[in-house]
A and B are shown apart, each in its own frame.
Chain A
Amino acid sequence: MTDIDTLQKDLANLPPDHPDRREAAVPAMLSLQSETGYLDDAAIEKIAEVTGLSSTEIEELATFYSLIYRCPTGRHIVQICDSVCCSMRGADQLLTAAENYLGAPLGGLASECAPTVLPSICLGLCDKAPAALVDGEAAGPLNRTLLETLLKRLQTEE
């Protein structure tokens, strides 16, 4: 039984307006995302069914949180901070460099094994500006060379 099935069983007996239903939405999204890398429309509808919320309500949450992905992602995800500190220290150039290196726009996938690069709101890593999250781990300060080395490693490693 997968996490989502367990959740469905737990929620089944709660009244329709129970706060736990809304509360369960984000963990359910993360759980499904951990299996498939991102949430497609069918996944949104599945979570709506499990929680009893409408698919629009789930979509509101899914599109608000930047760690929930609604498009296919690569095996690895690099999120480069573009907020004030990182921007002042060259985040914009890093984002352009990543696009050039990978040959795909931000969020796009040039090949099956390519990593996904995304801009991110402030990561709170101002001490490491320009900083990034690599599969959830902090990295920085980055420069163009370090970034390209990183992307190369992510692209080739299993």
Chain B
Amino acid sequence: MDTFLIDGQSVTFEPGENILQAALEADIQIPHFCYHAALGSLGACRLCAVEINPKDSDKNARVVMACLEPAQKGLEVSLSAAAAQQVRRHVIELLMINHPHDCPICDEGGECHLQEMTVACGPSYRRYRGNKRTFPNQDLGPLIHHEMNRCITCYRCTRFYQDYALGNDLGAMRLRNEVYFGRFQDGPLENPFAGNLVEICPTGVFTDAVFRQHFARTWDLKTAPSICPHCSVGCNTLPGARDGTLRRVRNRAHQELNRWFICDRGRYGHQYSEHNTRPLSPRVSGINTDYRSALAAAARKIQAAAERTGGIGSVREDLEGNVMLRSLLNDLKGIFTAFNDPELEAATLTAVSRMQELDNTPHLAALEQIDAALITGDLTVHAPMIDLALRQAWRNGAKLAMLHSSVAPLTQFASTAATVAPREIHDMLTQLYRQISRQPETNDAVTQTIKTIAATLSQARQPLMAGVVETSTAQDIIALAELAKAFEPAAQLIYVLPGPNAYGAALLSAAGDTVSLLKAVERGEVQTLIVAGSDPFSEPRSGARWRVARQKINTLIVLDCIATATAEAADILIPVAAWPERSGTFVNYEGRAQGFSTVFHRPEYLPSTADIISEISRLLENQLCDAASMLQDSFPGFQAPTPGTPGVQISAQHLPIRNNELMQTEPYSSDNGWQAALTSWLGDEPLAGFSPALTELAPPDTALINPESAARASLKSGSSVRLWNSVYSVETCVQINPSVANETIAIPRSMLVRLGIGHGDSLNLEQLV
């Protein structure tokens, strides 16, 4: 590798790197503002001035911008040269002319890049005595606070927002000394990655509006490495807490996952842990009590029920909590499952088994390098950071093909997008498979869409198949995997799983146990049901069945950190620590086990799920081993990954590959009436649903129908309708939306729950006059 010199120190560089990049990698801090590793060089701020010594002694040294000067072998660069120092000092002085002296009341204080650079390079006093230019601020919604006077015009915000995150509602207005970064009019920023402006702004123009409500200085915050619990990607985060309360969550760089950014659900969803409905005291039959009595009561009920005990773990419960609950149920000879919905269990297990089989699931950094993708479903909501990685692939020229039943924001970057009703996705994928493997059946009416997608994928160097488990059946998942296999070994396969530890939960589950447990409960064969970190009553498809079956259960024991419908209905409610308040392990969509640490303790005593189950087993006089040794039994050689490290691929036996006929799922009814599709939004996730800043942005509950289908049924935007199935009904109004498939009614999760149906199930519609 070639080298050059910075003040006599040798620095190595890769071809194509500039001086600033190479220096930062070698941990030599050249002052800079507008350069950002994700955004590249711009040369707008002029702060990274360095001097280059001439090769010929008769020429003069020259000052250049380190971010714009390519690194060259043998170059002699000086950071300390007087001329370069003078340029940097003048730049800071100019930038500080209009900057307010409001550091003591600025939220950025203590982690402000401008503060650091001014201390490092600038003059200590302001010479300028004139008026400063001032701006009105905009109301950018509940997530971001705007303070435009502090702007130093580095353009990092618009470069991130427009160029990287591909948003179009934040821009640079006006010109000269009046450049203004904002929206056309007041209103919340629409991009799901807008919260990153807080970190990317080198000063206090964009600050965290949620943190601001309960602010603490950065040096007073307790932090420790954590993992985001809001989807299956497993972004690395750095929560900050003070005085026993969680204040904020920031990005923590992981070289292969979230490098510089996280999504807004990850940044703002943490308010669930401070929500005023959060259970903090154990409750037995509705009466607050202490842990000792609650656990004793739970143990008595479990002992009485013995093998008539059932247990539901969770896709958002850590590996430790799930494995302990499973072991407890094994000892009692009761049924354990980590899922609430038999179809979701089948879909998740199938997805994990297929990813294990193909063994080519890319991390986020690799995703940015793909050149074509077939995406089924809405990645933006179910795995926002995978969406952001694909936006980078699109910027690099990748062709994205999308099949979706409902709204999917990524379609705006798709080269081919088709709306397909949920029950037709499987057919579509099968036809695509035959088209690619050149065995079209004579009765296939191969549409232009299929031909285009087939051509796109066939021409690709590295095609990606990406699916969303929550809105797919096991059959859809198999079809997508078969498609990926047709392109082996180049093809990559991703399934977005339904929770931060869905992969781990799948590894601990046996196929069919969810339906066995549900049926056993319905038959009255389960006396005591333990639910750990899960909410079966709010499950779209099976929630209604669980709510009815509840009557047959004597004792419902719930362990959770949020007030779910199931927790509200519990006979014995045992609050547990939220994620930043405990340590544990999540397994992300790649099968990467990542550890998280306890960031802080609340004033209340809040044990982890694993601790509580261990204590219950002790009271049952059948003490379980600790979670670590249990995990070693399940996963040979398992060592809990140290928090803050990149994590390790979990060593697990491959789940059995099951074929269509073995699936427990019931096929969609074949009638040609309306079918339901899930329409989701960024805050639609069990934990984030308790974050007021996010729920404030929730879209209104309506039924989305595409223009053609609406016209056929004589429906207009705003028409009142009643949606019903055999048992339940809801009333709502229609909104016309072209992103919805034919004969499909896209409704939010809450409506699916009330109707007791899932994505793809049939429903009826009747217009109300």
Q: Across the interface, do A56 and B171 meet the contact criterion of CB distance under 8 Å?
A: yes
Q: A41-B185, A59-B184 are in contact. Are A53 and B168 (CB under 8 A)?
A: yes
Q: Across the interface, do A64 and B171 meet the contact criterion of CB distance under 8 Å?
A: no
Interface residue? B173 (CB, 8 A): yes
19 sampled A-B residue pairs with Cβ under 8 A: A41-B185, A44-B184, A53-B168, A54-B169, A54-B184, A55-B184, A56-B168, A56-B169, A56-B170, A56-B171, A56-B184, A57-B168, A58-B184, A60-B171, A63-B173, A63-B174, A63-B175, A64-B173, A121-B176
Which residue of the partner chain B has the closest CB to A59? B184
Interface residue? B442 (CB, 8 A): no
Bound state CA distance, A59 and B182, in angstroms?
10
In the assembled complex, the CB of B400 is this many whole angstroms from the nearest CB of chain A, namely 13
B140-177 interface bits toward A, Cβ cutoff 8 Å, 1 = contact, 0 = none? 00000000000000000000000000001111111110
Which residue of the partner chain B has the closest CB to A60? B171
Main secondary structure on A side of the interface with B: helix
Interface residue? A72 (CB, 8 A): no
In the assembled complex, the CB of A137 is this many whole angstroms from the nearest CB of chain B, namely 24
In the assembled complex, the CB of B179 is this many whole angstroms from the nearest CB of chain A, namely 9
Partner of B171, one of A16, A41, A59, A121: A59
Q: Across the interface, do B172 and A60 meet the contact criterion of CB distance under 8 Å?
A: yes
In the assembled complex, the CB of B350 is this many whole angstroms from the nearest CB of chain A, namely 36
Interface residue? B183 (CB, 8 A): yes
Q: Across the interface, do A54 and B412 meet the contact criterion of CB distance under 8 Å?
A: no
Which residue of the partner chain B has the closest CB to A53? B168
Which residue of the partner chain A has the closest CB to B158? A60
Q: A16-B412, A41-B185, A44-B184 are in contact. Are A59 and B173 (CB under 8 A)?
A: yes
B173 contact set on A, CB distance < 8 A = 59-60, 63-64
Using a CB-CB cutoff of 8 Å, which residues 42-77 of chain A contact chain B?
44, 53-60, 63-64
B174 contact set on A, CB distance < 8 A = 63-64
Given contact pairs A41-B184, A56-B168, A60-B173, enumerate 10 new A-B contacts (beta carbons under 8 Å): A41-B185, A44-B184, A53-B168, A54-B168, A55-B185, A57-B168, A59-B171, A60-B171, A63-B175, A63-B180
In the assembled complex, the CB of B151 is this many whole angstroms from the nearest CB of chain A, namely 15
Which residue of the partner chain A has the closest CB to B178? A63
A-B contact count (CB 8 A): 34
B172 contact set on A, CB distance < 8 A = 60
B185 contact set on A, CB distance < 8 A = 41, 55
In the assembled complex, the CB of B339 is this many whole angstroms from the nearest CB of chain A, namely 40
Q: A41-B185, A44-B184 are in contact. Are A57 and B171 (CB under 8 A)?
A: yes
Bound state CA distance, A41 and B173, in angstroms?
14
Using a CB-CB cutoff of 8 Å, which residues 62-98 of chain A contact chain B?
63-64
Bound state CA distance, A64 and B176, in angstroms?
9
A64 contact set on B, CB distance < 8 A = 173-175
A63 contact set on B, CB distance < 8 A = 173-175, 180
Bound state CA distance, A53 and B162, in angstroms?
13
B175 contact set on A, CB distance < 8 A = 63-64
Bound state CA distance, A145 and B170, in angstroms?
45
A11-43 interface bits toward B, Cβ cutoff 8 Å, 1 = contact, 0 = none? 000001000000000000000000000000100
Bound state CA distance, A44 and B171, in angstroms?
14
A54 contact set on B, CB distance < 8 A = 168-169, 184
Which residue of the partner chain B has the closest CB to A65? B175
Which residue of the partner chain B has the closest CB to A54? B168
In the assembled complex, the CB of A43 is this many whole angstroms from the nearest CB of chain B, namely 12
Partner of B183, one of A16, A56, A121: A56
In the assembled complex, the CB of A139 is this many whole angstroms from the nearest CB of chain B, namely 23
In the assembled complex, the CB of B95 is this many whole angstroms from the nearest CB of chain A, namely 22
In the assembled complex, the CB of B197 is this many whole angstroms from the nearest CB of chain A, namely 14
A118-137 interface bits toward B, Cβ cutoff 8 Å, 1 = contact, 0 = none? 00010000000000000000
Bound state CA distance, A53 and B171, in angstroms?
12
In the assembled complex, the CB of B157 is this many whole angstroms from the nearest CB of chain A, namely 12
Bound state CA distance, A53 and B169, in angstroms?
10
Which residue of the partner chain B has the closest CB to A62? B173
Most buried by B among A56, A58, A59, A60: A56
B182-221 interface bits toward A, Cβ cutoff 8 Å, 1 = contact, 0 = none? 0111000000000000000000000000000000000000
B169 contact set on A, CB distance < 8 A = 54-56
In the assembled complex, the CB of A68 is this many whole angstroms from the nearest CB of chain B, namely 12
